[in-house]
Structure 1
Amino acid sequence: MTQVPAARSALRMLRLLAERSAPVPASTLARELGVPRSSLYQLARAMMDEGFLVHYPEERAYGLSALVSEIGAGSLQTDRLRRMTHPLLERLVAAAPVPVVGHLAVLSGAEVTYVDRVSAPRAPTTVSNVGVRLPAHLTATGRAALAALARDQVRALYPHRDSLYRRVGPGPTTLGELDELLRQARSRGWATEDGDITPGYASVAAASADRNGYPVASIGLTFRTLPDAAAVASLGAAVRQSAAALTARLAGH
């Protein structure tokens, strides 16, 4: 039988972490997996880059990311979310005063995955088609979800705090800059981005939570950049209302 040591170690690490209710120190992982500490760090870095692990630097420990549970129940959960949200997206897009594209996105580690989309006539062409994954810190849908997480959870998703990826130029480059964007999103009740994904396009979004308060999805609108801040705020209030309606549906209200 073909031996693939790295793959076996990765699978064993996933199983080990799944059996623990708290993050596991790197020293414990190396000992239980029977690998050198240097090899453990290389393996953990690769798994973090792929979104399967999160790092808790203060504890020098690792834990499973939300991506793992999403893979286990992803198809069923996504279909349920899409069915619940699609009518809300249709009404949201139809009521918008400007041509918009409505999105439903879920947080997958430090990225968002778009799972539904509704376009108005003459709406802009966007990169955020169903199935596309984008950096959460650059998108309105991602920022809305991140703003609903605890500060420690956000930091665990971004181990490289001073080198955040930028797509076209704008956007936060450090975790401190991201913190400020998330603070503004919490204060308003909705997140925004302008030109961080595509120049000339802007987005607003708000997160919906499950019974435990976890942001399971974000509802967003993308449109050509508007010079009127009040018009953007109106769209932001609309996505916040739709996200609240989805939260109520998820809670069975």
Structure 2
Amino acid sequence: MAQGRTVPAVDRAVKILNVFLDGQGPRTVPEITAHVDLPRSTTYELVQTLVANNYLRAVDGYGNRFDLGIRLLELGSTFSAGIDLAEQGRVVADTIMARCNETVHIATRDGRDVIYLVKADSPHAVRMVSGVGRRLPAHCTAVGKAMLADLSDDELAELYRDVTDWPAMTPKTITTFDELLDQLHTVRGRGLAYDDCESNPDVKCVAAAVRDLSGAVVAGISISVPVHRADHRLDDELTHHVAEGARDLSARLGYTPRPGQA
């Protein structure tokens, strides 16, 4: 669809709101003016209009400093409620699968388990233990570890507090909390999680977390590859594809990284 003519006043108001996307907090009118290249009087009038409509709010008793208003939260919540994770995940999974010709999963976490929402099958015949609707222990999977890594060490300790018997799907499966914690520290550092034949003795996986509008991790995306094709693809090509898929799906869910965030 061809782009129509924009309304200058609305365009200026949007530019003012965009100033706050850097997460640096409240601003004065002169500080806002420096970012939008408008006369101070024009900026002041636009700020007051945005305040009157709850898109900005004064954060001191003098009306000198302003921050984002409650109306934006309401709009964001309404937008987020209208997004179907599985529907958007299917689009992204199919796209990534077509690029790498390997099986792609989208999963969400329920406590200590992951539940698979989407599976885009590779054109190659591969025996997989996963399937849409299936539940697997999160610590056995790359996609599970990608989501668990968002929890703090204290939250993880509470989540696994009463676990005495760790289910092992293969001889390589993690079977202690300390081992899981060590791996999750590594996941946090590199932003990617791996499954080294831990849920399937014949398959390796790489995964990344997916965030929603609020920045919370709500899902994970993984690429699974048979061992005989993994060595020359897993640490380069497929990591690129899974990171790209995570960024795409996160953006579809409304997530916008702040400066300095991956």
Amino acid at match of 2:202: G
Q: Normalising by the residue count of structure 2, what TM-score does the alignment of the two structures yield?
A: 0.62
Name the amino acid aligned to 2:182.
E
**Offset at residue 93 of structure 1 (A):** 0.8
**What is the total number of aligned residue pairs between the two structures?**
176
Whether 2:91 is the aligned partner of 1:87: answer: yes
What is residue 252 of structure 2 aligned with on the other side?
A: 249
Q: Percent sequence identity over matched residues?
A: 31
RMSD: 2.3
Does 2:118 match 1:116? yes
Gaps of 5+ in 2: 1-79, 257-262
Checking the alignment, whether the CA contact within 8 Å between 1:100 and 1:123 is kept in structure 2 is: no
Encode CA deviations 1:182-229: one digit per residue, 9 max, x unaligned.
Answer: 122122211111211111111111111123332100011111015765
1:147 and 1:185 in contact (8 A); partners too: yes
8 A contact 2:174–2:198 mirrored in 1 = no
Q: Which deviations, in whole Å up to 9, do the C-alpha atoms of 1:60-109 show, x marking residues without a partner?
A: xxxxxxxxxxxxxxxx989811111212111111111xx42111100010
Distance 1:227 1:89 in 2: 20
* Gap change, CA 1:113 and 1:78, over 3 Å in 2: farther
**In structure 2, C-alpha distance between the alignment counterparts of 1:163 and 1:252, rounded to whole Å:** 37
CA distance in 2, matches of 1:106, 1:82: 10
Amino acid at match of 1:243: A
Larger radius of gyration: 2
1:50 aligns with: none
Q: What TM-score, normalized to structure 1? A: 0.64
CA separation of 1:123/1:181 partners in 2, compared to 1, >3 Å: closer, same or farther? farther
For residues 17-166 of structure 1, what are the structure 2 equivalents within 5 Å? 80-96=84-100, 99-160=101-162, 163-166=165-168
Change (3 A) 1:121 1:79: farther
Of residues 228, 240, 256, the one that matches 1:237 is: 240
Determine the C-alpha separation between the residues in 2 that align with 1:118 and 1:230. Answer: 22
Corresponding residue number in structure 2 for 1:186: 188
> Superposed, which structure 2 residues align to 1:216-227 within 5 Å?
216-226=218-228
Instruction: Please name the residue that 2:75 is paired with.
Output: none
The runs of 5 or more residues in structure 1 that have no matched partner are 1-75
**Residues 27-60 of structure 1 deviation map (CA, whole Å, 9 limit, x = unaligned):** xxxxxxxxxxxxxxxxxxxxxxxxxxxxxxxxxx
CA-to-partner distance for each residue in 1:126-165, whole Å, 9 max, x for gaps? 1211010000001011000001122222222111466432
Given the alignment of the two structures, is residue 211 of structure 1 paired with residue 205 of structure 2, yes or no? no
